[in-house]
Chain A
Amino acid sequence: MRYFAAAAKKDLARIAKDPIALLTWVGIPIVLGGLMTLVSSGGGGSSPTAQLVVTDLDDSLLSGFLVGAFGQGPLAEMVEVEQLELEPGRARVDAGDVSAQLVIPAGFGAALLAETPTALELITNPAQRILPGILEESLSMLSEAAFYVHRVFGDQLRDLTQGMDAEAGPSSAEVARISVAIRDSIERLQGTLFPPVLSLASTTRSVEDEQDDLEWTFGILLLPSVLFMALFFVAQGLSEDLWVEREQGTLRRAAIAPAPFAQFLLGKLGAGAVVFAGVTAVGLFVGCSWHGLPLSRLPACVLWAALSGLVLQLLLLTMQSLASTRRAGSILTNVALFPLLMIGGGFLPLEALPDGMAAIGSWTPNGWAMIQLKEVLLYGRTGLAFGGAIVVQLAIGALLFLVTHARLSRSFLQA
């Protein structure tokens, strides 16, 4: 077991040497969650309307999506969009007629696809304060959405743009396939991100329990979602370490050392456990304090969430070990990650998803784990069922561990 400790310590040291990665994994969900909370709390009936002038110099599919998004869901109620050329638009802002002018630069869509930096310009009306603020928040949310589309379909998008440079261009079948994939994703984002935010105030679950008369606000329901999104990102980042170890030859050296290889692998989970426990402890402490939930529930919640993180890490490690190349591993885990997050309540609480989707979502590993977390976090239930759930997690984890171990000590090493 000393070797296990040394392996865990070694992996923790390596994680600690790259704090930016860890911050990114944890930071994105927090930013996203914060923005959703802001937008949803501002989305009451009496919200004022902002007038926005949009000047689309790019006129591409993506810029069209951006303009269109202001006409969807809750944003449509808060923002009135008018498309104008550059000069007339500017004149309207100067005259104080509108809250702001959004300029989408030429080449915006292409830059987004190529992942080169691009900036949207928002010219705000100095006389107004709150309305331009709403516009700014909405915009940053939309660029987050673009970020996710990119993470899911980044490879296909790049293939497509590279294909365009070639003489023949992409085949029409290719274009069709990618367009459908992109459209689906955009629809999913629009369908789940925006309307539910709006309908949330009316659909929050009524609490008929003997428990306190706390009303579950969107923020409280979102807390586990943000937490699981962070766990997922951390787990994915940690799972990629397998390729790093293979490429730098250390995996082989470990395989020929006399100490059991299983302990080397367990060391990765040990390091993961520390990270997961740290992230969940801080996240839940802040979340519980903020929302006034009893801190006595914290230990059980941290235990559960860290355990769930470990099982996610194992799930993704298994996928990585089944892939033949690093790229294949990355595609495989991304393809699994985003749908699971989407329907498993990782982006939005299950309560805010359409009923059918939520029903399926409750059967995803993360959805199920999140429901168990809420039982403890919101209702303080830590009885027999909670114990049973821990046993289930441990059993799934052990099974995944065996698969990964078998893969790693054979074919994964040889290539």
Chain B
Amino acid sequence: MIEIEGLEKRYGDLVAVDNIQLRAEPGRIFGLLGPNGAGKSTTIGCVSGLITPSAGRVRVLGHDVASDGRAARASLGVVPQELALYEDLSARENLAFWASAYGLRGPERARRVTEVLESMGLADRAKEPIKKFSGGMKRRLNFGCAVVHRPKVLLLDEPTVGVDPQSRVRILDLVREQVEAGTCVLYTTHYMEEAETLCDELAIIDHGRIIAQGTLPELRGILGEMDVLRLGGRFDPDAVRTALVGMAGVEIAALDEENVRLAVEAASTKLPALFAAMAQAGAEVRETTLTQPNLESLFIKLTGKELRE
């Protein structure tokens, strides 16, 4: 279990993490979803003990990271965003070394290393120096090094970035396996599909702050049954605003001369009326996209911008 209370990290004037509060439970995946620079890695760093927070406290399985660091770290497995491997050693040597850093030894260590090699699909290349590995293979080994000691709490910082689709599926399966075994997982990502399919609970983070938090259904509830309608073309913002302002179940998320983003309740029934209103406002619509409610639309609704911008 991870408990984070009032966590804050400042770098000079920059507030990288701003009053974060969350609680991740065993046997569940807690997702931190946010764009680049949102403060995901900084949060993970504070949990792993690598970064000293400016304020707040973090507990792992009840052990305070600041005052009882050794015990907190003993139950953690960390998959860092950047690879952290010995390039000139083999996969087996890497795993064996990190296993001993977490207190495994002797035959137990050897057994565990073999197990992980197999589950990572690296058993047949275990003896090669890993500098000969592909990016995806290194990512899998990076993951393996974090779980070789069977941690009760697992921190994953964008483990699928830059990975081919096959390795990605494999890594996500491996995460689910860990969770089934009762591990508590904190998972950061900026892929909303990943967050949607993988996570039991989610916090959406932007500029160091959590802007929405809950289970997937709860988050969908915030959004209501709103679909997202994106229109591209040429618009007169004032005229569009006047034309739409009276329509029930339509909210303007963003509006400028070339783009309109609307949150629309039961959009399929309202489309004809909407287009009629747009035509009246003198709008020239060249492109239309309608999206079912998802995390992306929630993010757009909350921040007015897209996750990947």
Contact = CB atoms under 8 A, between A and B. Distances in A.
A complexed with B:
yes
A413 B70 CA distance: 18
Majority-rule SS of A interface residues: helix
Interface stretch (A10-18, A144-152, A350-358): A10-18
Contacts of A6: 96-97, 100-101
A252 B50 contact: yes
A256 B78 contact: yes
B88 A256 contact: no
B73 A10 contact: no
B84 A252 contact: yes
B73 A249 contact: no
Interface string B72-113: 011010101011111111000100111011110100000000
B129 interface: yes
A264 B223 CA distance: 50
B100 A259 contact: yes
A218 B144 CA distance: 57
Nearest to B70: A258
A295 B85 CA distance: 44
Nearest to A5: B100
For B71, B88, B93, B105, the residue with the greatest tally of chain A CB atoms inside 10 Å of its CB is B88
B237 interface: no
Contact of A249 (B76, B84, B89): B84
B48 interface: yes
B232 interface: no
Contacts of A257: 73, 98, 101-102
Interface residues of B, number: 30
B84 A248 contact: yes
A3 B70 CA distance: 15
Chain B CB within 10 Å — which of A6, A255, A257 has the most?
A: A257
B49 interface: yes
B145 interface: yes
Nearest to B100: A6
A355 B225 CA distance: 91
A337 to B, nearest CB: 25
Contacts of B73: 256-258
A129 interface: no
Contacts of A14: 86, 88-89
Given A14-B88, A17-B88, A17-B129, A253 B70 contact: no
Contact of A250 (B48, B51, B71, B84): B84
Contact of A248 (B86, B129, B145): B86
Contacts of A10: 86, 89, 93, 97
Given A3-B100, A6-B97, A248-B83, A255 B50 contact: yes
A254 interface: yes
B84 A3 contact: no
Given A14-B88, A17-B88, A256 B49 contact: yes
Interface in A221-256: 248-250, 252-256
A253 B89 contact: no
A18 B103 CA distance: 28
Given A6-B97, A253-B98, A258-B74, A413 B86 contact: no
Contacts of B86: 10, 14, 248, 250
Nearest to B75: A258
A254 B264 CA distance: 51
Interface in A4-30: 6-7, 10, 13-14, 17-18
A217 to B, nearest CB: 42
A264 B88 CA distance: 18
Contacts of B84: 248-250, 252-253
A248 B145 CA distance: 14
A104 B233 CA distance: 72
A5 to B, nearest CB: 8
Interface centre among A248, A249, A253 (most CB of B within 10 A): A253
Contacts of A13: 89, 93
Nearest to B109: A6
A256 B76 contact: yes
Looking at A10, A13, A254, A258, which has the most chain B CB atoms within 10 Å of its CB? A258
Contacts of A18: 88
A10 B103 CA distance: 15
Contacts of A413: 50
Most chain A Cβ neighbours within 10 Å, of B83, B86, B129: B86
Contacts of B145: 253
A263 to B, nearest CB: 9
Nearest to A249: B84
A10 B88 CA distance: 10
Given A2-B105, A258-B73, A413-B50, A252 B89 contact: no
Given A10-B93, A253-B80, A259 B101 contact: yes
B221 to A, nearest CB: 37
A249 B50 CA distance: 12
A184 to B, nearest CB: 39
Nearest to A413: B50
Contact of A2 (B49, B76, B88, B100): B100
Nearest to B105: A2
A411 B78 CA distance: 21
B100 to A, nearest CB: 4
Interface string B127-140: 00100000000000
Nearest to A248: B87
A248 B70 CA distance: 24
Nearest to A414: B51
Nearest to B93: A13
Nearest to B72: A258
Given A258-B74, A258-B102, A248 B49 contact: no
Contacts of A248: 83-87
Interface centre among B82, B93, B97 (most CB of A within 10 A): B97
B203 to A, nearest CB: 22
Interface of A: 2-3, 6-7, 10, 13-14, 17-18, 248-250, 252-259, 264, 413-414
The 9 nearest A-B residue pairs measured at CB: A249-B84, A6-B100, A257-B101, A258-B74, A253-B84, A258-B73, A256-B48, A10-B97, A17-B88
23 contacts: A2-B105, A7-B97, A10-B86, A14-B88, A18-B88, A248-B85, A249-B80, A249-B83, A249-B84, A249-B85, A250-B86, A253-B80, A253-B145, A254-B101, A255-B50, A256-B49, A257-B73, A257-B102, A258-B74, A258-B101, A258-B103, A259-B103, A414-B51
